[in-house]
């Protein structure tokens, strides 16, 4: 990454107080790299260096920063500087910023906004957290169906400069109800004497403002779109949400799911900006839960202590069985969670999933069970041990596969995030159940 490469040079220029040289460097590198560089500096240096960013890049760099860094910068700005910066931000970026700031600071910043921007900010903040309404921008271009292509072009030229994008032009009626979206290419290729209605196909994909942002992200992926129109329940066009904002949503979802899959409470800040105490709190809670859950496994082993003493070879296969069960459950849960996230699978198809995973679990279980049977037969204990570990492997595989696939569907049904079935948590639960199955079968076969 460019920011890491130039960090030592920027640090040296800061130490030497060569501010003009830093300005020169910033004029030649993208805003994203400047933002990444700022996140690596301490708060005092960051505040000084931010003032050296060229005016044309200031708002773009600010929009790329984490909310905690944005708050630090705002805290060190004079009111006059705050007013300029806040009014220059795009409405969607401004709303994202306001969501993460303390209430008193948001109130202060809203008062700095011009009347039009203030009304937009208050309207956008009225939508639920994580809804599309929080992401949308009202800066788009709309035309009427009875306009001529030439008339529409004049309108696009007049209002397109202030729009977030003109890749797509929206057609609305007198009540501002969305009728269609038309790519700008179709306008360019149309004859001037035609009307907008002549080039409409009446096919468009829109999303309601109260819908979850992740749903918008999935729609963009599904239809390979760059922008989505946002409407209310009556179909009135409210704004648009662009793919760049939705990519950020997708990255946040992936990061959150990845952290949950590792039994870490979601961390919204970057690793550089988050404190060690916060990381400790985010990790230790889940680790304590897993530790307590592990007590069940140790209790099961203690309960079957006499069985282990009677047939010592049983102890040798415990790691193999519980590790295999955990791995199988993690595999199936990962596949199902991903299918649910992409829309390939819905909760209504749960029975198909159960049938499929039962069959898959049986096939995997027989394959692994045969290997373990041979291992037990020739390595430890003879045919009886081989029978116990082989059958246990089949049973544990089927159970693990079902748990890993069905639990995410159940959580989705109850409007919970399936990612909370993290690999460590699922593995720990499967460990306890696997041990119970193993020793129950051993007790039955050996008459313990």
Q: How far apart are CA 361 and CA 291, in angstroms?
A: 28
- Spelled out in words, what is the top-level CATH class assigned to the domain 276-446? mainly alpha
Task: Output the six-digit token pair for 61.
Answer: 């760099």
pLDDT at residue 3, as a whole number: 59
Asked if 195 and 161 touch (Cβ cutoff 8 Å), the reply is no
In the chain, residues under CATH classification 1.10.357.20 are: 276-446
Q: How far apart are CA 320 and CA 169, in angstroms?
A: 60
Asked if 396 and 444 touch (Cβ cutoff 8 Å), the reply is no
In angstroms, the Cα distances linking 299 to 157, 292, 302, 431 are: 74, 11, 5, 12
- Spelled out in words, what is the top-level CATH class assigned to the domain 142-249? alpha beta
User: How does pLDDT run across 257-304, given as a tens digit for each residue?
Assistant: 555 554 445 555 555 666 778 767 767 776 777 678 778 778 888 888
| pLDDT surpassing 80 at residue 203 | yes
| pLDDT surpassing 70 at residue 192 | yes
Task: Output the six-digit token pair for 440.
Answer: 């129950």
- Mean predicted confidence (pLDDT) in 206-230: 89
User: How does pLDDT run across 115-147, given as a tens digit for each residue?
Assistant: 778 767 867 777 887 888 888 888 899 999 999
Residues 6+ apart with CB under 8 A from 191: 149
More confident residue, 448 or 83: 83
Q: Quick one: which of 215, 258, 263, 224 has its CA closest to 243?
A: 224
DSSP letters for 346-398: -GGGHHHHHHHHHHHHHHHHHHHHHHHHHHHHHHSS-HHHHHHHHHHHHHHHH
pLDDT at residue 206, as a whole number: 95
pLDDT at residue 179, as a whole number: 96
User: How does pLDDT run across 334-362, given as a tens digit for each residue?
Assistant: 888 878 876 778 888 888 888 888 999 99
Asked if 300 and 439 touch (Cβ cutoff 8 Å), the reply is yes
User: How does pLDDT run across 72-123, given as a tens digit for each residue?
Assistant: 888 888 888 888 888 888 888 888 888 777 766 776 787 788 877 876 786 7
Neighbours of 151 (CB within 10 A): 15
Question: What percentage of the chain carries pLDDT values higher than 90?
Answer: 23
**SS3 at position 227:** strand
More confident residue, 335 or 179: 179
User: How does pLDDT run across 369-417, given as a tens digit for each residue?
Assistant: 999 999 888 876 678 888 999 999 999 999 999 988 888 888 888 777 6
pLDDT at residue 371, as a whole number: 92
pLDDT at residue 263, as a whole number: 47
| pLDDT surpassing 60 at residue 248 | yes
CATH number for the 2-129 domain, one of 2.40.40.20, 1.25.60.10, 2.160.10.10, 3.40.50.360? 1.25.60.10
Q: How far apart are CA 135 and CA 241, in angstroms?
A: 6
pLDDT at residue 1, as a whole number: 55
User: How does pLDDT run across 159-171, given as a tens digit for each residue?
Assistant: 898 888 899 999 9
Residues 6+ apart with CB under 8 A from 327: 427
Q: What are phi and psi of 241, to 5 degrees?
A: -130, 130
Task: Output the six-digit token pair for 292.
Answer: 């307590």
Question: What percentage of the chain carries pLDDT values higher than 70?
Answer: 88
Task: Output the six-digit token pair for 382.
Answer: 């003879």
| pLDDT surpassing 80 at residue 187 | yes
| pLDDT surpassing 50 at residue 34 | yes
Alpha-carbon torsion (36, 39, 45, 48), positive or negative: positive
Residues 6+ apart with CB under 8 A from 322: 297, 430, 431, 434, 435
More confident residue, 84 or 149: 149
Q: What are phi and psi of 52, to 5 degrees?
A: -90, -5
| pLDDT surpassing 80 at residue 424 | no
pLDDT at residue 423, as a whole number: 63
DSSP letters for 89-152: S-HHHHHHHHHHS-HHHHHHHHHHS-HHHHHHHHHHHTSPTTBGGGT-BS---EE-TTSBHHHH
**SS3 at position 211:** coil
pLDDT at residue 30, as a whole number: 87
In the chain, residues under CATH classification 1.25.60.10 are: 2-129
pLDDT at residue 25, as a whole number: 86
pLDDT at residue 297, as a whole number: 79
Q: What are phi and psi of 395, to 5 degrees?
A: -65, -45
Q: What is the mean pLDDT of the chain?
A: 83
Q: Quick one: which of 91, 99, 111 has its CA closest to 238?
A: 91
In the chain, residues under CATH classification 3.10.580.10 are: 142-249
pLDDT band at 178 (very low <50, low <70, confident <90, very high): very high
Task: Output the six-digit token pair for 19.
Answer: 């501010």
């Amino acid at each position: 990454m460019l920011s890491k490469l130039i960090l030592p040079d920027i640090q040296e220029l800061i130490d030497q107080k060569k501010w003009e040289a830093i300005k020169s460097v910033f004029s030649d590198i993208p805003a994203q790299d400047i933002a990444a560089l700022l996140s690596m500096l301490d708060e005092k240096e960051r505040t000084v260096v931010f003032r050296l960013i060229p005016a044309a890049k200031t708002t773009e760099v600010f929009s790329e920063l984490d909310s905690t860094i944005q708050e630090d910068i705002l805290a060190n700005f004079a009111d006059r500087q705050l007013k300029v910066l806040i009014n220059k931000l795009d409405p969607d970026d401004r709303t994202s910023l306001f969501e993460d700031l303390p209430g008193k600071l948001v109130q202060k910043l809203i008062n700095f906004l011009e009347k039009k921007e203030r009304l937009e900010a208050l309207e956008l903040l009225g939508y639920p957290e994580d809804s599309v309404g929080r992401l949308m921008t009202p800066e788009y271009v709309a035309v009427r169906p009875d306009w001529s292509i030439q008339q529409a072009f004049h309108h696009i030229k007049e209002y397109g400069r202030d729009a977030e994008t003109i890749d797509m032009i929206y057609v609305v009626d007198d009540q501002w109800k969305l009728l269609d979206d038309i790519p700008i290419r179709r306008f360019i290729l149309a004859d001037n004497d035609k009307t907008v209605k002549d080039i409409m196909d009446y096919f468009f994909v829109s999303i309601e403002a109260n819908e979850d942002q992740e749903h918008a992200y999935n729609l963009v992926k599904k239809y390979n779109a760059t922008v989505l129109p946002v409407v209310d329940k009556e179909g009135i066009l409210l704004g648009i949400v662009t793919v760049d904002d939705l990519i950020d949503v997708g990255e946040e979802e992936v990061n959150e799911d990845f952290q949950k899959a590792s039994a870490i409470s979601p961390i919204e800040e970057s690793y550089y900006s988050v404190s060690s105490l916060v990381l400790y709190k985010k990790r230790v809670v889940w680790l304590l839960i897993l530790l307590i859950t592990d007590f069940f496994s140790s209790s099961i082993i203690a309960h079957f202590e006499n069985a282990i003493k009677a047939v010592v070879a049983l102890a040798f296969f415990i790691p193999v069985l519980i590790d295999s069960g955990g791995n199988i459950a993690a595999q199936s849960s990962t596949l199902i969670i991903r299918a649910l996230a992409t829309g390939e699978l819905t909760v209504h198809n749960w029975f198909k999933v159960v049938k499929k995973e039962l069959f898959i679990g049986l096939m995997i279980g027989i394959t692994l069970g045969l290997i373990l049977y041979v291992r037990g037969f020739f390595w430890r204990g003879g045919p009886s041990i081989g029978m116990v570990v082989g059958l246990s492997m089949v049973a544990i595989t089927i159970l693990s596969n079902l748990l890993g696939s069905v639990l995410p569907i159940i959580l989705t049904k109850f409007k919970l995030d399936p990612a909370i079935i993290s690999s460590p948590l699922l593995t720990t639960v499967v460990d306890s159940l696997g041990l119970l199955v193993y020793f129950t079968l051993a007790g039955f076969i050996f008459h313990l």
